[in-house]
Amino acid sequence: MVNYNLLIKEAQNAREYSYSPYSNFKVGCALLCKNGKIYTGCNVENASFGECICAERTAIVKAISQGDKEFLAIAIVGGIDEICDFTYPCGSCRQVMSEFCESSLEIVLFNGRERKLCTLGQLFPNSFDKKSIK
């Protein structure tokens, strides 16, 4: 079973490494593999704004490039101020997740106060992915 509290803690730690001098919006995430390994990621921005990389894609690319490609869950921590809503993965990250993760991937959102659980299938139904071009 997924230890959501541990995954959120790892995402919060990773968030501290966020390089976000342009948006000042820190995001951290923790991606849990089926073998128990956890890959973390943060957003890494660039003066050429189009080159900004989201936390989720950082973690996924780290995992794939180290030979891990089976995932169970991802925790995402963005804004944690009182006024902040949950930080949902952006469209590009949902597309990249759909390449490597099953629709049952658990997505754990934490806003500093409470957590919300959903699945990739709920956030990104009818995706265009590997199955679409067989």
Report the residue from 13, 17, 33, 52 that binds ligand THU according to the rule CB under 6 A. 52
Of residues 16, 56, 82, 102, which has the active-site annotation? 56
Residue owning tokens 């050429």: 48
Q: State phi, psi for 119 to the nearest 5 degrees.
A: -120, 165
Nearer to ligand THU, 18 or 36 (CB): 18
Cα 55 to Cα 4: distance, rounded to the nearest angstrom: 18
**Phi–psi pair at 43, nearest 5 degrees:** -80, 140
**45 in contact with ligand THU (CB under 6 A):** yes
Q: Per-residue string for binding with ligand THU, 94-133, x by CB under 6 A? A: ----------------------------------------
**Catalytic positions, please?**
56
